[in-house]
Amino acid sequence: MLGAESFLFVLPLLSLVASTDSAVISSAGIAANNASDHLALQSFKSLIRIDPFHALESWGNRSIPLCQWRGVMCGRRGRRHGRVTALDLENLSLVGAISSSVANLTFLRKLHLPGNHLQGLIPQELAALSYLQSIVLFQNKLEGEIPHELGSLQNLKVLNVSYNKLTGTIPWEFSNLLNLEILYIAHNNLTGEIPTWIGNLVKLRKFSLSANQLTGSIPSSLGNLSALTDLTLHTNNLTGSIPPLQNLSSLTALELGYNDLTGYIPSQIGNLTSLVWLDLQSNRLTGGIPESLGNLNLLEALVLAFNNLTGSIPSSIGNLLSVSKLDVDNNALEGPLPPLLFNLSYLEIFSAKENYYLNGSFPLDIGYNLPNLQIFLIDFNQFHGPIPPLFCNSSMLQMFEAASNLLTGTIPNCLGTHLFSLALEKNQIQATRDADWGFMASLANCSDLQFLDLGYNRFAGEIPCSVGNLSTDLEHFSMLSNNLTGRIPEEITNLVNLNWLSLSENYLEGVIPNSVGKLKGLGLLDLGENYLSGSIPPTIGNLTKLSILSLGVNMLNGSIPSSLIGCPLQKLEISYNSLVGPIPRELFSIKTLSDYMRIQNNLLTGTLPIELGNLNNLGELDFSGNQLSGEIPVSLGACQSLQYLNASQNHLQGTIPLSVEQMKGLSVIDLSHNNLSGDIPEFLANMRGLSTLNVSFNNFKGQVPEDGIFKNASSIIILGNYGVCGGIPQLKLAPCSSHNSKKPPLRLIIAMSIGSACLLGMFALFVFFIWKKKTKQNLQEPSTISERHIRVSYAELARATDSFSSGNLIGVGSFGSVFKGKIMINNLLVTVAVKVLNLLQHGAPQSFAAECETLRCARHRNLVKILTVCSSVDFRGLDFKALVFEFLPNGNLEHWLHQPIEIDGEHKLLDLVQRLDISIDVASALEYLHQHKPSPVIHCDLKPSNILLDDDMVACVGDFGLARFYHEDYNVSSEKSSAWARMRGTTGYAAPEYGLGNEVSAHGDVYSYGILLLEMFTRKRPTDSEFGDDFSIHKYVKMSVPDQVANIVDQCLLKGPDDIENITSDYNRTRDAKIACITSILRVGISCSRETPTERAQIGDALKELQKIRERFRRDSLQASSH
């Protein structure tokens, strides 16, 4: 309407101008010619709903000629004189749509409307503008398909419609745009494939289709575009390999990242000597980094991260003298960094983290050659040696992250003033003298420091007070799992912006400073596993952002402060202290508690308040091992999210409330060792999620249910309830009858009283040893476990094993034999494994002591559980020593690998997932042993026959006959010459350095674990005849990874249908996923079994990698099966 009015206005104006002189007549002629342009622009304006900068205010103003309107440009010669040739309204935040009347601007050459909020479709009528050379509409909200009619614009040189919401495919009509030089359709929702005819647009200089949903391969015809300088196809779903592009001699930017490309990086890319930016990250590329990339002497950025690249970083990378960014992280690269890399004086960003196999040390003059270095990331590798002091000369350094390596020495005192992040956790860095702590004072000069993580190292002594001088911007500070002593310095509370403070697993003592309440931004406070005493400061309640509070395993006393209600806690861990008094009601009113509340093993008294029901988001609740009394409140049933409940070892009484039936998420319930009574509720049998139920040692009576969880005797523990009857036969309970309600006989009451007294005594001894463990005295502890376990006699074990008959023999080891038997433990007949020591064997007594001591101190789900011991004399009066273990019915890993069980006429073999699970179980056990406090435990004899499997095929590490605490050989000089002290494991599995007489170490266990991994997935023993001194299983596997993995792996893992006609693409996809998974596992095995101890992976890193491999395999298998 507005356009029509303007047109009517123009006609009388033309009549008026016609009566003027010739000069005016000439002007009138121009006005007549651009009348249609005037109308078209007014129509364009009419569809603009919002014009925040009043850019179009001049449009339609009678005093301003059309050619002077904002954004409008007109021609000056010939037929274009006075006609609109360009419309340029950039970054004006215009809201509206593009009017199709723009097509009436006959002489329009340039349509530029980027940086607005234009919606709707791109008008197909634009195809009528035959002079149009440039269409730039990026960064709007345009929708729909790209009009195929635009393919008729023969003069079009620039088309940029990036950053919109366009859909559909690339119109094939665009193959006619032979003059096109720039084609940008990035950041839309295009689908389909990249058409091959793109290669015909030989004038194309810049081409971007990034951030769409394109599929298919990259057409090789792109190699015809010799004028191309920018090729950007990242963030799509492109597959296949990278085509030869060696003819693109003018190419300066090649971005193919974030796709699903496979195959090798073509060496021909090294011929693209004009390249400035090369980005191939986040694909599935394999093979090595081509040496030829070193020819790209203009390259400023090389990004190859998140692929499956292998081999070493080629030395030619040191020729990239212009490079400022080099990113190769998250691959499987190995070997040292090339020395020439440290001569790249323009290098600003270097990232090689999470390759896991990169190693070597750093040149001492590194700082001189990297003056512009800002970011240096090498986390999760195997670099060793010290951090060079000359890093200090990298004065622009902002991030230095080298977590999970093997770095040693001290931290230099001068790591620049721009440092933002310093992450050195999980290394072997130390500080043993005051001078070694000098770095802390130098870091005070880093005013931008926000992240400082020094956990899992070897820092010793007191935390210096200079920690309080660190930047007040510091948000993350961790020194967990070191050897810190002394008090927590009060000055640490100067760091008012701390969000994360972790000092756990040290030897800190004294009280928690009250001033910790000043750290108002704190989200995590972890001071667990120290020797802290005194009370929990009530000022912690001032921390209104605190979501995780961990103070467990200390010597804290006093009551739990009710002020904790002021903290939005999600996790609360204050267990294993000496806290007293009732649990404050306020604690149960912290409705944010969602992960766990662990307050077990304290001295808490009183009853459970009704507010317990407020914890309706909590997943785990453990208040066991206290002195709580009274009944379990009915309100417990409101805890609908609870999965784990442990209320054992208290004085609770009454019945299990009916409301527990409402707790559908419960998986584990432990109510043992209380005074609960009444019937065992029938509704427990209907709780489908329940996997473990322990109601032992209470006063329950009556019929035991037989459905649900009660069908599985291994999932329930009912012993110690002498009034119960019935149940499934495996429970061996008396049948229910009318007499079951009678009172138990006097002798039974006396026996129960004596048994309870014994159990109480055992619990007191257990608490005593926990306390002993927390002391700092270096006294030798008795190397038996008789204090914790009731001994059995020789006669009992003889009866249990039928006089140690050969029919009950289940294994023979270095120091004795293992028999299967059945003994009474806590009035229950239990199947056990009895290890009888051959005391005539040299070292057997020491082996017995070692195994007792290790298993007395170590407890983990993946360690074999010891039940009791026997140190007595046999019927001949000779010394007799034996250990009694939990019997694991599935035997050992050796048999499963090499002597598979036959079931229904078919050999039962471990599948890939089972082997991977077992690998993770064993790694978990080793990590626990190696991080054992106060002294790490070295197993010294890890091999398949020492790994046992339970009912659920969960692996448990056993046979600790050669185990010792770290440095024990040096503390007990009398044993250094004994046969036992000299023994270092089994041939083939023992680390090579043990053969040279070296001391035992965690590195030795890691070596054995690496060999074990290789054996598990190749099913070849390291002692097989094909292996010898010059050709080990390590070399055999290393030579075959990755290309020959399918040939060396245990073929049972890849077995497909017997009928070749039934082999489908689904099977092939699954097979590929299996090979990829096994390849990754074998790489871990290779890394763990390296010749040099310091080059081996740490067991914790191996564990994390295997867990990642398992998760990735599950995901890949699911995707393969869904096709």
pLDDT, tens digit (0-9, with 9 covering 90-100), for 1075-1111: 989 999 999 999 999 988 888 999 999 999 999 898 8
Report if residue 262 sits inside a domain.
Answer: no
pLDDT tens by residue, 59-91: 988 889 999 999 999 999 888 899 999 999 999
Asked if residue 707 belongs to a domain, the reply is yes
Strand partners, 883: 835, 869
Query: pLDDT for 892-902, tens place per residue?
Result: 898 898 877 66
| Residue 743, pLDDT score | 46
Same domain? 869 vs 967: no
Residue spans of beta strands (DSSP E) within 479-546: 483-485, 500-502, 509-511, 524-526, 531-533
Provide the token pair at 132: 């149009």
Q: What percent of the chain stands above pLDDT 70?
A: 85
Task: Let me know if residue 976 belongs to a domain.
Answer: yes
Q: Is pLDDT of 464 > 50?
A: yes
Mean pLDDT of 2-20: 34
The whole-number pLDDT of residue 633 equals 95
What's the pLDDT band for 127 if we cut at 50, 70, 90?
very high
pLDDT at residue number 768: 44
Name every residue whose Cβ is closer than 8 Å to that of residue 915 and which is 6 or more positions away in sequence: 1016, 1017, 1053
* Residue 181: per-residue pLDDT: 97
Q: Which of 1034, 1039, 1009 is nearest to 1022 (CA)?
A: 1034
Residues 549-573: b if buried by 16+ CB within 10 A, e if exposed: bbbbbbbbebebbebbbbbebbbbb
Please name which of 490, 496, 551 lies closest in space to residue 518, comparing C-alpha atoms.
496
Q: Kindly report, residue by residue over 700-744, the tens digit of the pLDDT.
A: 999 999 999 998 888 899 988 989 999 999 888 899 875 444 445
CA distances from 231 to 222, 225, 234 (A): 9, 10, 9
Residue 785 has pLDDT above 80, yes or no: no
With a CB cutoff of 8 Å and minimum separation 6, the contacts of 810 are 818, 819, 820, 833, 891
Instruction: Provide the 3-class DSSP secondary structure of residue 1081.
Output: helix
Annotated binding site for ATP: 835
Task: Please indicate, yes or no, whether residues 910 and 991 belong to a single structural domain of this protein.
Answer: yes
Give the mean pLDDT of 743-754. Answer: 50
Range from 70-79, 413-422, 555-564, 858-867 carrying the lowest mean pLDDT:
858-867
pLDDT score recorded for residue 762: 56
Which token pair is 514?
Answer: 């009250």
For residues 371-391, give the mean pLDDT.
Answer: 89
- Asked if residue 933 and residue 862 are part of one domain, the reply reads no
**C-alpha to C-alpha distance for 846 and 857, rounded to whole angstroms:** 17
Across the chain, what does the average pLDDT equal?
85
Name the band, by pLDDT with cuts 50, 70 and 90, for residue 955: very high
Residues 988 and 1078 in one domain: yes
pLDDT in tens, 609-643: 999 999 988 999 999 999 999 999 999 999 988 99
Q: Are residues 909 and 934 in the same domain?
A: yes
Whether this model's pTM surpasses 0.75 = no
CA triple 1031-1036-1040, angle to 5 deg? 150
Question: Are 696 and 793 contained in the same domain?
Answer: no
Q: Residue 824 is which amino acid?
A: M
Helix 1099-1122 and helix 1065-1088: axis angle, to 10°?
A: 180
Q: Which of 720, 742, 764 is the last residue of a domain?
A: 742
Residue 1079 domain flag: yes
Q: Which of 941, 959, 1005, 1101 is catalytic?
A: 941
pLDDT score, position 520: 94
263-280 residue pLDDT tens: 999 999 999 999 999 999
Three-class SS of residue 713?
Answer: helix
1044 located within any domain = yes
| Closest listed residue to residue 875, CA positions, set 791, 798, 792, 820 | 798
> How many Å separate Cα 588 from the centre of its chain?
32
What average pLDDT does this structure show over 532-561?
A: 95
Confidence of residue 19 (pLDDT cuts 50, 70, 90): very low
Confidence class for position 972, pLDDT limits 50, 70, 90: very low
Q: What contacts 24+ positions apart, CB below 8 Å, involve 65-74?
A: 66/34, 66/37, 66/38, 66/41, 67/34, 69/41, 72/41, 73/110, 74/34
d(CA 255, CA 233): 6
Q: Is 1072 known to be catalytic? A: no
Residue 139 counted as domain residue? no
CATH at 971: 1.10.510.10
Of how many residues is the chain composed? 1123
Same domain, 841 and 899: no
**Average pLDDT value for residue range 12-38:** 48
Q: Are residues 1062 and 973 in the same domain?
A: yes
- H helical segments located in 1024-1123: 1033-1040, 1045-1048, 1065-1088, 1099-1122
Residue 155: its pLDDT value, please? 96
- Together in a domain, 719 and 808: no
Question: What is the SS3 string spanning 874-937?
Answer: CCCCCEEEEEEEECCCCCEHHHHHHCCEEECCEEECCCHHHHHHHHHHHHHHHHHHHCCCCCCE
Q: Is the same domain home to 917 and 992?
A: yes
Is the per-residue pLDDT at 319 higher than 50? yes
- In-domain check, residue 945: yes
Give yes or no: residues 882 and 898 share one domain. no
**pLDDT tens-digit series, residues 837-852:** 776 665 666 666 666 7
1090 in the same domain as 966: yes
Torsions phi, psi for 288 (to 5 deg): -100, 175
Tell me what pLDDT residue 9 has.
35
- pLDDT at residue 850, rounded to an integer: 63
pLDDT of residue 230: 97
Q: Which of 887, 903, 929 is the last residue in one of the domains?
A: 887
- Which pLDDT does position 697 carry in this prediction? 92
Q: Which pLDDT value is given to residue 302? A: 97
Closest by CA position to 192, among listed 174, 172, 214:
214
Asked if pLDDT for residue 973 goes beyond 50, the answer is no
Residue 751: predicted pLDDT: 52
Task: For residues 850 and 963, give the distance between their C-alpha atoms in angstroms, rounded to a whole number.
Answer: 6
pLDDT of 857 over the 70 cut: no
- Count: domains in the chain: 3
* Average pLDDT estimate for 1017-1042: 85
Q: What pLDDT digit, counting tens, does each position of 396-432 carry?
A: 999 999 999 999 999 998 887 889 999 999 999 999 9
Task: Kindly report each contact of residues 224-230 with a partner whose C-beta sits within 8 Å and lies 24 or more positions away, as own/partner.
Answer: 224/199, 224/200, 225/198, 225/199, 225/201, 226/202, 226/250, 227/181, 227/202, 227/203, 228/204, 229/205, 229/253, 229/274, 230/205, 230/206
> In the predicted model, is pLDDT for residue 769 greater than 70?
no
Mean pLDDT confidence for 129-139:
96
Q: For 317-366, where are the E strands, in sequence order?
A: 325-327, 334-336, 349-351, 357-360
365 or 289, which is more confident = 289
Give the mean model confidence (pLDDT) for residues 933-949. 83
Rg (CA), the chain: 38
Given 887, 916, 935, the domain boundary residue is 887
What's the mean pLDDT in 769-798? 49
CATH of the domain at 872: 3.30.200.20
Residue 724 pLDDT:
93
Residue span of the structural domain in which 1002 resides: 890-1122
Q: Is residue 997 part of a domain?
A: yes
d(CA 71, CA 278): 37
* pLDDT digit string, tens, across residues 990-1002: 888 877 767 778 8
Note the pLDDT of residue 790: 52
Q: 191-195, 577-581, 684-688 — which is least confidently predicted?
A: 684-688
Please check the confidence at residue 904 and state whether its pLDDT lies above 60.
Answer: no
Q: Among candidates 338, 396, 326, 398, which has minimal Cα distance to 362? A: 338
For residue 659, the one-letter residue type is S
Q: What is the pLDDT of residue 347?
A: 94
